[in-house]
Structures are given as structure tokens and as C-alpha cells.
Structure 1
């Protein structure tokens, strides 16, 4: 699955043997923001319909023994962004890698491992943001879950990224 990502992207090791992987890119104005700052900006702009889908997902899967994830924007509003470090929770994910130009977050359970990278490639006063998702399934239930989630994911990510342009 070829992806147009820089060779030093922290998400690369996770791509091997992935059950599902995709990457979307968008060009944005840039004033030196970190990948974490841009990630927070996007999740804080999560469209209402995405939150409704997350709520529906949580209600359904909690009856099937999966954990209730909450919402993307369930962030600690009182914690300064510069205090975040590897291991901290950011919404539904935990930080596994944190650099100025890339953040990798994950959520792992007994059915699958999901990792998301926000990678910034600056070019003057513009930046290309690569949002990459990688999923490794652990069992049949994970495959069934991804059967339903993958098509929706392919709509949610580009629309969420576009909120960074349209506000």
C-alpha cells in the first residue's frame, strides 16, 4: 500500500502487515504550529454528525463488550498543550510518539489496534498535513467491525480535515 509519506514518518513501522491503512493530505496556511496543535484544532471542529456517529457507535458496541470511546474532542481543556507527552490521553487516543511535526496516537483493545498520525511537512508559509490511519486486526470480530467502520472512516477523515480550511 504505497503512501506518499516522508521516510522519517513515525507511522511507517506500523504500516507493515496492516489490515487497513489510508492517508489523506491537505495543504494549509502555516505559522509554525505543532502537529498536536493542528490535531487539537481539528478535533475541536469535529462535525456534529461525526459526534452523532461516535455516540451511536458507543451505544452499539458497548452492548457487544467493546469499550465506550467517548468523542474525538473529549480533551482536557485545562491542560496547556506544551505539557502533553507520550502516554497522555488525547480524546479517544493515547499519544505514542510526539514531535513538533508529527504526533502518533493509538487505541488498542482485544480486537484491533488503531494508530493515527498527523504529520506536517512545512513549505514556507504553507504546510502539507498528512493524516494517516493504520489498523491491525487481532481476530474475526475486529474484521467484522472494520467491515462497517472502514467505509465511514473514508468519509469522516477528509471531511474532518476540511474543517481546518473551512472552519
Structure 2
């Protein structure tokens, strides 16, 4: 299992117009029947304890600023994946995320055929609105990279029983 950082390959204007930040990670899986929703569920439905601790710390620190701690208030007709409302989906692509007053973000999960299975790619896009958004993005960036890779690695695990 090798997770590779790649150049983001999404149309930023159609996913999050004006996004100033984008990164992407890819892994190849052998599950030829995996679709974007199933991949996103494997990625976001389970959170390692060290990530939960970081999220709890983040939520405590941002509470005085009125920042959202999940997208539950923005849940759409497509439902939720982990903490994120699903904004759109096809079998090949799922887009989730929400808007806040300091920044808007999207996470895109793409599934595409590869030589030995399928490539699963997660792309994160961020549009900051003010100094708080820029400061927040700068502060979380080292953690974002570790978390993004760890969560993407979960796509190789079998789905959790329902």
C-alpha cells in the first residue's frame, strides 16, 4: 500500500470556485467493484484515536470563534459521510464539504480504473475568506497532510459491518 501525493486533477471552478489551496493523494486498491461512495465511507466513517484527539482539541480551540465543528447543519439530500455533508456524487466521484465564515472546503473522492485494480484519489480544496481562515489553514496544514494520508489508507480495509 503506497499513498502518493499527486498534482490535484479536478476542475477547481466547478468544485469550489476561487479555491486558493488544493492537494491530492492517491492509492491503488485491488477492489475492482469499489465506487466513490463506498471508498468515501471506508475513508471517513472510522477515525483513529489520535485523529479524534486532534479533532477534539481543534473543536475546543475554535469554539470561541464560532467555527463549525461538523457539517451536520448542512446535511443535504445526499446524506453525510463522517462529519461531512455529501454535496454531489456519481459512481466515480463524491464531493463533500461545507462552508463556514472563515473558509469553505471540499473533499473530492475519485475512483478510476488502474492497471491492477482502481486508483482512489482524495483531493482537498479550500477557499479562505479572511485572516482567520488563512491563519487556520496555516495552523492545520501539517496535521491535514498526516490525517489525509492516514484516512486514505483506510480504503484498503474491508468495509465495517453495518
Normalising by the smaller structure, the TM-score range is: 0.7 to 0.9
User: Structure 2: which 5+ residue stretches go unaligned?
Assistant: 1-5
Residue 137 of structure 2 is aligned to residue 146 of structure 1? yes
Aligned residues: 151
Alpha-carbon separation, structure 2, partners of 1:111 and 1:87:
24
Partner of 1:130: 121
Matched, 1:3 2:4: no
1:40 Cα deviation after fit: 0.6
Q: What SS class does the counterpart of residue 106 from structure 1 fall into?
A: strand
SS in 1 for 2:7: coil
SS, match of residue 31 in structure 1: coil
SS for the counterpart of 1:63 is helix
* Superposed structure 1 runs of 4+ greater than 4 Å apart: 9-12
More deviation, 134-143/149-158: 149-158
**Deviation of the 1:65 alpha carbon:** 1.5
Which of these residues, 63, 82, 85, is aligned with residue 91 of structure 1? 82
Task: Give per-residue Cα distances to partners, 1:76-101, cap 9 Å, x unaligned.
Answer: xxxxxxxxx75533332221211001
Q: Hey, what's the Cα distance between the residues in 2 that align with 1:109 and 1:159?
A: 25
Could you tell me which residue of structure 2 aligns to residue 80 of structure 1? none
1:30/1:117 CA distance change after superposition, 3 Å: same
